[in-house]
Amino acid sequence: MSVFSKAFPRSGVLSLKRGLNPRLIIIFTLLTVLLTASVILLWERVLRPPYYHWVARNYPGAQNAEHRYKLEQRGEHFFISMAVDVIVVSMLLAIVGRKQERLVAANEQLAHSEKVATLGRVAAQVAHEVRNPLAGLLLYSEHLKSKLDGKTQNGEAQLVDKIIDTINNLTATTEQILNFARPVTLAPKRLDLNTVAQDVIQLLSTEIAAHDIETKLELDPSPVAGMLDEPSIRAATLNLVLNAVQAMSNGGRLTISTGTTGGTLWMEIKDTGAGMSPARVKEIFEPFNTTKSRGLGLGMPYAQKIIQQHGGQITVESQQEKGTQVRIELPTNGRNAQ
Ligand SMILES: Nc1ncnc2c1ncn2[C@@H]1O[C@H](COP(=O)(O)OP(=O)(O)OP(=O)(O)O)[C@@H](O)[C@H]1O
Ligand SMILES: [Mg+2]
């Protein structure tokens, strides 16, 4: 992060729409004092002595005194105007650059949201078309099974069971796609992220034990509570923890930490699993982008959609062969919840 970004974070200290705030005025005053002092020192200590020396050498004697004086004055004016120009232009360029950065980020976010929405709509349409025929197939298969009951041999009835299992799996997949595509209406009420973390660990205890995973809960001793939509936050957290567990097929450590910083609730889910390359990390919020044979690639985009709908954010840091850390941040007051 550049010094400029630190002084003017994304919260938009420079945003004229929000008006000038005292912090901005103090920063600019200090900056101006500092720059003026530096320009004066640079002129007085570094540039002026050799320049005056050059003038005195080339225009010696009393007859050149006036000329010398003019040259010295012009040199000083020239230097000060140049210094001010350079400083002002650099600041303007920095401001324009920062605005452009924000514009590019906003465009990328827009393109991503449009892509997610389009993919979601298409997938939902297909899932919707498939759902009714699947329900019909299930009925026929169950009817067939009851007709065959006791009349078949050599495990033929098991074939019908396999058909029923396959139909049930397909139905579950279409339901998952429809759940992702459906707009979520948030119903915020008081929810403690500590409870969510504990419940999710409990829910996944069989998978955790099966993968030989050590779990560590580093929960804030005080409730990490805010106005949140319980079902969607639970589902999003479950997806994230499930990903962490699935990334540690050969065992590892799962750490869930929580806390409150200012008006923000946060939860970090850390695993010591396979990790991801930086290129892969960039793609994980794209729907249907999966590396798993039985995955749909909807867990991460769903979690992102829910967290963003709450006015929060989700960030992922990962290192191949070392592990992944997913951090979610949510506003305490649910002010942004829609
Ligand atoms: N903790 C993690 N460690 C390593 N890779 C991860 C992690 N979390 C996500 N990924 C990668 O991101 C991809 C997308 O994750 P996402 O949860 O969206 O879908 P999925 O887990 O593949 O399928 P599902 O729809 O069942 O969740 C995964 O296939 C995996 O490659
Ligand atoms: Mg997943």
- DSSP per-residue codes, 112-145: HHHHHHHHHHHHHHHHHHHHHHHHHHHHHHHHHH
Tell me, using a 6 A CB cutoff, whether residue 324 lines ligand 1: yes
Tell me, using a 6 A CB cutoff, whether residue 336 lines ligand 1: no
Based on C-alpha coordinates, what's the Rg of the chain?
32
Atom of ligand 1 nearest to the CA of 290: 29
Residue with more model confidence, 13 or 238: 238
Tell me, using a 6 A CB cutoff, whether residue 173 lines ligand 1: no
Spatial neighbors of 242 by CB under 8 A, at least 6 apart, are 204, 207, 299
Tell me, using a 6 A CB cutoff, whether residue 312 lines ligand 1: no
Q: Is pLDDT above 90 for 335?
A: no
pLDDT of residue 123: 83
Three-state DSSP state, 243: helix
For residue 310, which of 327, 333, 289, 290 has the smallest C-alpha distance? Answer: 333
Distance CA 217, CA 201 (A): 9
For residue 160, which of 146, 141, 143 has the smallest C-alpha distance? Answer: 141
Tell me, using a 6 A CB cutoff, whether residue 141 lines ligand 1: no
Three-state DSSP state, 220: coil
The torsion defined by the Cα of 165, 169, 174 and 178, in degrees rounded to 10, comes to 120
Ligand positioned closest to the Cα atom of 316: 1
Tell me, using a 6 A CB cutoff, whether residue 323 lines ligand 1: no
Tell me, using a 6 A CB cutoff, whether residue 219 lines ligand 1: no
Q: Is pLDDT above 80 for 154?
A: no
Ligand positioned closest to the Cα atom of 302: 1
Banded pLDDT at 36 (limits 50, 70, 90): confident
Residue with more model confidence, 244 or 150: 244
Helix (H) or strand (E) holding 181: helix 156-181
Residue with more model confidence, 4 or 328: 328
* Cα 301 to averaged position of ligand 2 atoms, centre (Å): 9
Distance CA 305, CA 170 (A): 24
* Cα 320 to averaged position of ligand 2 atoms, centre (Å): 18
* Cα 53 to averaged position of ligand 1 atoms, centre (Å): 70
Banded pLDDT at 264 (limits 50, 70, 90): very high
Ligand positioned closest to the Cα atom of 245: 1
pLDDT of residue 12: 43
Residue 133: CA count within 13 A, CB half-sphere: 6
Residue with more model confidence, 105 or 336: 105
Between 6-10, 219-223, 232-236, 255-259, the lowest mean confidence (pLDDT) is in 6-10
Tell me, using a 6 A CB cutoff, whether residue 278 lines ligand 1: no
Q: Which amino acid appears at position 295 of this protein? A: G
By CB atoms closer than 10 A (0-12, 13-18, 19+), residue 253 is middle
pTM: 0.67
Ligand 1 mutation pick, 239, 268, 292, 325, max ligand atoms within 8 A of CB: 292
Q: Is pLDDT above 60 for 20?
A: yes
